[in-house]
Structure 1
Amino acid sequence: MSTVQALIGARIFDGHGWHDDKALMIDAGKVSAIVPLADVPASAARIDAGGQIIAPGFIDCQVNGGGGVLLNDKPSADHIAQICAAHARFGTTALLPTLITDTRDVTRAAIAAGHAAKAAQVPGFIGLHLEGPHLSVARKGAHEPSYIRPMEDEDLAMIVDCGETFPAMITTIAPENVSEAQVSALSNAGITVSLGHTDCTFETAKTYVTAGASMVTHLFNAMSQLGHRQPGLVGAALSFGELSVGLIADGFHVDPAAMSIALRAKQGPGKMFLVTDAMSTIGSDQQSFFLNGREIFREGGCLRLADGTFAGSDIDMLSSIRFVHDVLGLDLGDAVQLATVNPAAAIGLQTKGALTAGMDADFVVLTPALDLVSTWIAGDTVFQA
């Protein structure tokens, strides 16, 4: 039987432009081409996606949990697989399970779980995001303040060792607790250093960009704000082309007007990209759960601690795309790019985020109303609605 597949009948968005009356050709888990229907080989296995939309699979750089599981809770390859499977139901084909500030032992266990997930070839797993513990207590958000601390040599070595292991690796840090030299060491090891949960000034952010920081974690949230005399990290995120910037588009973390302003203001080549910052509730019926011993409540589309502090989000990536398309009025192609080519570029993924020749055959099939039909990873269906 031929390994070549031809998806026909759909409108195809390759991550950069639209194709009508063409076929997406898949060979051995890779995109081989997008061709006119007349050029589909007779030997190819034809899959009719008539009337639907095909787009690159979504990439999420900040996923704390899903399917009733948080990475912080007994990190394991099985839990990572459960998180990836939960988000595949909403079109995410590549993600970074994210560890929220915790003890050094839990961090070490999360890294070990990442190694095991890679060895097991868990579909959708591409690496880890360590969000803390080297943050600013002043901008802690829902992070447990007693675990926040300066980066020490042991911490640095533990993260640097991951540089050659995972296709992608992010650590969110605050200049208050991490030195410029440590940022340079992380960056030189291939780690994406993201500034977040910090009260740093615009000038300090600039210094840390020079040291190697290349990302900002969940714009506007848990950071120094944009003032007319003190631009803060928000101003740095929008001004410095070296920085790629994550954005939570659930309508709670950032007002739609602020999202639109930021999208228009962002200076490149670094771009804005969507993150869910999702917790264990995605793909589950959980109404509450615990993080570091504190209960988090699910109500009205968001997650909060008892004191009202936001604690991650209750949104999936497809819903995030719908939000920026329907509420902000972004062109559908532009909305999809925020969850595909932009995050791929931000973390240096060379084979994901687009459907051009040689790329991984990670894609979604959507209805014209943007409901999910199916999710594919490496040419295989991993979820069928």
Structure 2
Amino acid sequence: MSGSFALCGGRVFDGVGFLEGQALVVSNGRIEAIVAQADLSPSIERRDVAGSLLVPGFIDLQVNGGGGVLLNNQPDLDGIRTICSAHAAYGTTALLPTVITDTAEIRARAVEAGIAAYSQKVPGYLGLHLEGPHLSVARKGTHDPSLIRPLEQPDLSFLVEHAGRFGEALITLAPESVSPGYVTALVEAGYVVSLGHTNAKARDILPYVSAGASMATHLFNAMSQMENREPGLVGVALANGRLSCGLIADGFHVDPMVMQVALAAKKGPARIFLVTDAMSTIGTDEQGFLLNGREVFRRGGRLTLADGTLAGADIDMLSCVRFVHEHLGLSLADALNMASLYPAEAIGCATKGTLAVGMDADLLVLQEDLTLRATFIGGKCAYGEDFAKGVAA
């Protein structure tokens, strides 16, 4: 096992349960074995995590920015590198940099940056999330209404042409701005289609689920709500076992009691998973930034436009995990899976989300109080303690 090492001395959460007395063997960027520490080869390098937790790395399918960079404002390779690095410091080992509604030029530049990041295997880069511009003005949220428009044949041609070139591909669309046939074409090309920023009624949403849409973007936010005689997208997403749902667990976007109701109500096999919807503020002390030429203010854990509209979130994934564990009463296993296994399932990524033989060695070393000690991406320390040398990475 030349070049291999074993993380020892901690508890392993493999995505199913907590394993005691086991060592995690990493080789060539993947998990080679999970074995009793007593059965390790005497020749293998051992790295002692001293009673910490070894858990799957977090996967964030909606990340607008981080480290002072907003993808819309810097749609290039360096911008993606900065965003991925910033979120690694909070336990995210795979993410989808997200470009929201903007000009066709900005989207094209973001796609070219994604192609470059994918080809160069930027640590933490998983693919892109294209959130808009094919949305509903009625549920625009912070998206610039002047840039929202229907999806037309030239857009479809562009998207299909670039499918598969920039990694995992997620696109948020509103039924008001796209036909079911176009949704099917995108799914067949390799996109995961998420419904969001829509005011559509349930009867108008269901054909899009039949056409292949498999996700709902930031549940409850910027979508038609569930009422006594109209389910809206909220009702469809909870009642339909084919729709996975992203959830921003910062306590501002969705009330904690509403989160608990949604988690209890969600029909499977699709699940509710955590997203941050993070902006450029993560990992910085900046107090504001510009989005489509409009000022966004950072105050008290919230990001808002001047009129008070929420403009993304000022939270990292580790904080989301803590929130659902501590404030919603979810077990630690469930909270961790909402940030790892469930988003991996939603995007169809078979090599991430759990700690099992053959999976990518994307993992975290956490203390029992959920303080992050280290982030490993592909078996390499991307943040925190280098247990091999005893120095910070």
Q: Which TM bucket (shorter chain)?
A: over 0.9
Who is 1:195 aligned against? 195
1:339 corresponds to 2:312: no
1:107 corresponds to 2:107: yes
Instruction: Return structure 1 stretches of 4+ with deviation > 3 angstroms.
Output: none
3-state SS of the aligned residue for 1:333? helix
- Which residues of 2 match residues 162-173 of structure 1 at below 5 A? 162-173=162-173
Q: Percent identity of the aligned residues?
A: 58
User: TM-score scaled to structure 1, two decimals?
Assistant: 0.99
In the alignment, is the contact (CA less than 8 A) between 2:118 and 2:167 conserved in 1? Answer: no
CA positional deviation for 1:333:
0.5
User: TM-score scaled to structure 2, two decimals?
Assistant: 0.97
1:304 corresponds to 2:276: no
3-state SS of the aligned residue for 2:78? helix
- Which residues of 2 match residues 283-302 of structure 1 at below 5 A? 283-302=283-302
Measured in 1, the distance between the counterparts of 2:265 and 2:248 equals 17
CA positional deviation for 1:74:
2.9
Measured in 2, the distance between the counterparts of 1:291 and 1:109 equals 16
CA positional deviation for 1:264:
0.7
Measured in 1, the distance between the counterparts of 2:250 and 2:161 equals 34
Measured in 2, the distance between the counterparts of 1:161 and 1:10 equals 46
CA positional deviation for 1:212:
0.7
Measured in 1, the distance between the counterparts of 2:230 and 2:6 equals 54
Measured in 2, the distance between the counterparts of 1:246 and 1:203 equals 22
Cα deviations by residue, 1:342-372 (Å, 9 ceiling, x for unpaired)? 0000001010111101000000000100010
Cα deviations by residue, 1:122-179 (Å, 9 ceiling, x for unpaired)? 1000100000000000000000000000001111122222322243110000000011
Measured in 2, the distance between the counterparts of 1:18 and 1:341 equals 15
Who is 1:35 aligned against? 35
In the alignment, is the contact (CA less than 8 A) between 1:61 and 1:343 conserved in 2? Answer: yes
In the alignment, is the contact (CA less than 8 A) between 2:198 and 2:222 conserved in 1? Answer: yes
Measured in 2, the distance between the counterparts of 1:270 and 1:167 equals 22
Measured in 1, the distance between the counterparts of 2:372 and 2:252 equals 24
Measured in 1, the distance between the counterparts of 2:265 and 2:43 equals 49
3-state SS of the aligned residue for 1:310? coil
1:253 corresponds to 2:223: no
Cα deviations by residue, 1:56-82 (Å, 9 ceiling, x for unpaired)? 000000000000000001310110000
3-state SS of the aligned residue for 2:175? coil
Instruction: Return 5+ residue gaps in structure 1 as ranges.
Output: none
Who is 1:64 aligned against? 64
Aligned residue identity for 2:206: K
- Which residues of 2 match residues 219-258 of structure 1 at below 5 A? 219-258=219-258
3-state SS of the aligned residue for 1:130? strand
3-state SS of the aligned residue for 2:75? coil
CA positional deviation for 1:205:
1.6
Measured in 1, the distance between the counterparts of 2:378 and 2:275 equals 22
Who is 1:156 aligned against? 156
In the alignment, is the contact (CA less than 8 A) between 2:77 and 2:114 conserved in 1? Answer: yes
CA positional deviation for 1:42:
1.2
In the alignment, is the contact (CA less than 8 A) between 1:102 and 1:133 conserved in 2? Answer: yes
Aligned residue identity for 2:144: E
Measured in 2, the distance between the counterparts of 1:323 and 1:31 equals 29
Aligned residue identity for 1:277: D
Who is 2:389 aligned against? none
Aligned residue identity for 1:219: L
CA positional deviation for 1:17:
1.5
Number of positions where the alignment pairs a residue of Structure 1 with one of Structure 2: 385
Measured in 1, the distance between the counterparts of 2:199 and 2:282 equals 30
Measured in 1, the distance between the counterparts of 2:16 and 2:205 equals 31
CA RMSD of aligned residues (A): 0.9
In the alignment, is the contact (CA less than 8 A) between 2:115 and 2:167 conserved in 1? Answer: no
In the alignment, is the contact (CA less than 8 A) between 1:162 and 1:169 conserved in 2? Answer: no
CA positional deviation for 1:44:
1.1
- Which residues of 2 match residues 304-383 of structure 1 at below 5 A? 304-383=304-383
Aligned residue identity for 2:23: A
1:127 corresponds to 2:127: yes
